Structure 1
Amino acid sequence: MKKLPIFIAVLFVAAVLAFSSFFVVDERQKALVLQFGQIKAVKEEPGLSFKIPFIQDVVYYDDRILSLETPEIEVTPSDDRRLLVDSFARYRIADVVKFRQAVSTGGIRLAEDRLKGILNAQLREVLGADTITSNTIISAERASLALRIRDKSRIEAASLGIDIMDVRLKQTFLPEQNLEATFARMRAEREREAADERARGAEAAQRVRAQADRTVVELKSDAGRQAEITRGEADAEKNRIYADAYGADPDFFEFYRSLDAYRKGLNGENTTMVISPDSEFFDYLKSNSGR
């Protein structure tokens, strides 16, 4: 009976040792087996693995692609137009041994702090190059700039055991203190363009009005000339008719002319004529024969 508690205690210790001797590596992880801080084994394949209990420890690292948001930084392109750039990166731990040696017990937090420093330095170097302007950064070429930043950052991040998969420029905007000056310059440029457009429009309108005025003068002149020709032809036709009528019957023509003179001379209710009664003007009013 005394041996039973001892057996149970031995069995319990054996179970604890067995439980402490095995560990599981998830498919989303990589693991390092450490003995007194020294790396003894690297476990990159998922499954059950063995370690020496109480002597060796296991440190797990994420094997997935991770995201890193970098704080916005100010860059100065070649045109001296300062910009605030907001970016992010995607990375993964490619070499856990290098990663452990680089950050020790600092883990992901320390690694990301160093990675932010690398990315910010490359952002300033690439976006501040002599051939890069602010327009280039905000244009479609920003994708190629992001690739250059990724490639340069990847070389430095390799010493941390990190592989940078992608770098993207999320936002690019002006510092607050530059917005008002930039808006004022843009407004002045738009007002200058508007003034130029108005000046060109006024010049075009003046040309149109001058052409219209010249056309009106030409039309009036041509119409006046045509009217004079028509009146001349009508007068000529009238005189011809008068001449024909006079030649056909001179007496009737003189009678018609006298009646027309009476109509014009005695027109109106208050017409007053001072003329001798013996005047030839009244010849056709004195006798039935008109003589």
Structure 2
Amino acid sequence: MSPKQTLAVLVLMILMVIGSNSFFVVNEWQKGLLLHFGKIQKVENTEVAVVRDPGLHFKWPFIDKVIYVDTKLQTMDGRPQEVMTNEKKALVVDTYVKWIVADYAQFYIRTQNDNSRAENLLERIVNTNLRAEVGKNTVKETISGERAQMMVNIRARSNESAPELGVKIIDVRVKQVNYPVAISDTVYERMRSERHRVATAFRSNGKKEAAIIEAGANRKATVIQANADRDAKIIVGKADAEAANIYALAYNKDADFFGFVRSLEAYDKSFNNNQDLMVIKPDSEFFQFMKDAKGDKKK
């Protein structure tokens, strides 16, 4: 390769390096903060930082530097904090915070564009206001639906300090509220005892009600049985009376035939068992219909 060709290659490489350091691309979820000699570049004759929107931009190579700031909504999962209510009762409150970068220059100055560092500082602000707000309320208010207003107040007070970090708090929410471990054991034991007492009372009342229902059912069954026995006796009595009346009518209508039928029934019962032995006089009235179909005792 000739000296001219070598020089041309070197010039081309230098131009490529300069070109690659002269343009930069800001993605749609970012903002580009421009630094000039390591300092935040300001718009001419103002204190406003130069911030580039998404797209392709030019910068002076090796002199300017671009800080890419994430503009997406961030979530800070806070660590559980032990706080005191106005009743001097301890609670452990677990929260999370939604936040975004609002002032890119201030955010860079305070955090060096480090989200973890920003969240550590933000957590201190939120926890300070959390303790202050819970300290104004009771346990019931803290764990009930009324805590929604508490969260609004915490967010508002935290946003008073958030601009120092260059951020804005969008929302503060409570994930859960618990008693400290030592207190929780006592509370849970008391709750178990109370539930056991209530359950015992329910079982006792249930047995009492069951006994009352069973006694009532037995009483009703006795009454029903007595009424049934009474009705049965009445029916049997009426049937016997009706049968006697039928026999009487039959006898009065034809006394001889009635006597004949009754004698046949007596014969049937008497001679049904071959082992029976009867000692009766031949002229007994028992045999009157065997001697004469009309049962005439004179013959």
Give the TM-score of the pair, scaled to structure 1.
0.63
Partners in 2 of 1:113 and 1:78 — Cα distance?
27
Q: 2:154 is matched by which residue type in structure 1?
A: I
User: Corresponding residue for 1:11?
Assistant: none
Residues 1-291 of structure 1 mapped to structure 2, 5 A cutoff: 28-31=31-34, 41-46=47-52, 62=69, 64-65=71-72, 66-77=74-85, 80=89, 82-94=91-103, 96=105, 100=109, 103=110, 112-131=119-138, 133=140, 136-137=142-143, 143-254=148-259, 256-257=261-262, 282-285=284-287, 288-289=291-292, 291=297
Does structure 2 conserve the Cα–Cα contact (< 8 Å) formed by 1:63 and 1:93? no
1:141 CA drift (Å): 5.6
Secondary structure of 1:124's counterpart equals helix
- In the aligned structure 2, how far is the partner of 1:143 from the partner of 1:34? 48
CA offsets, 1:201-228, max 9 Å, x none? 4344334434433332333233223222
- Aligned partners of 1:33 and 1:41 also within 8 Å: no
Contact map agreement 2:69 2:104 (CA 8 A) in 1: no
CA apart distance, 1:85 = 1.5
| Cα distance change on mapping 1:222 and 1:105 into 2, 3 Å | closer
Q: Greater CA deviation, 233-242 or 205-214?
A: 205-214
Give a deviation string over 1:106-161, Cα, whole Å, max 9, x none: 98776544432211111222234324527x53x66655443322111111333444
3-state SS, counterpart of residue 240 of structure 1: helix
Segments of structure 1 that go 5 or more residues without pairing to the other structure are 1-17
**Alignment length (residue pairs):** 260
In structure 2, C-alpha distance between the alignment counterparts of 1:107 and 1:256, rounded to whole Å? 125
Q: Structure 1: which amino acid aligns with 2:133? A: V
Matched residues in 1 for 2:97 and 2:68: separation?
Answer: 21
SS of the residue aligned with 2:291?
A: coil
Change (3 A) 1:233 1:67: closer
1:91 and 1:166 in contact (8 A); partners too: no
- C-alpha distance in 1, partners of 2:71/2:113? 19
2:78 is paired with a residue of what secondary structure? strand
Q: Which runs of 5+ in 2 are unaligned?
A: 1-17
| 2:91–2:177 contact (8 Å) kept in structure 1 | no
Instruction: Provide the secondary structure at the position in 2 that maps to 1:167.
Output: strand
Give the match's secondary structure for 1:28: strand
**Residues 144-197 of structure 1: per-residue CA shift (max 9 Å, x gap):** 443322111111333444422332334444544445444434433443444344
Q: State the secondary structure of the residue aligned to 1:133.
A: helix
In 1, are the aligned partners of 2:78 and 2:94 still within 8 Å (CA)?
no
2:276, 2:192 → 1: CA distance?
78
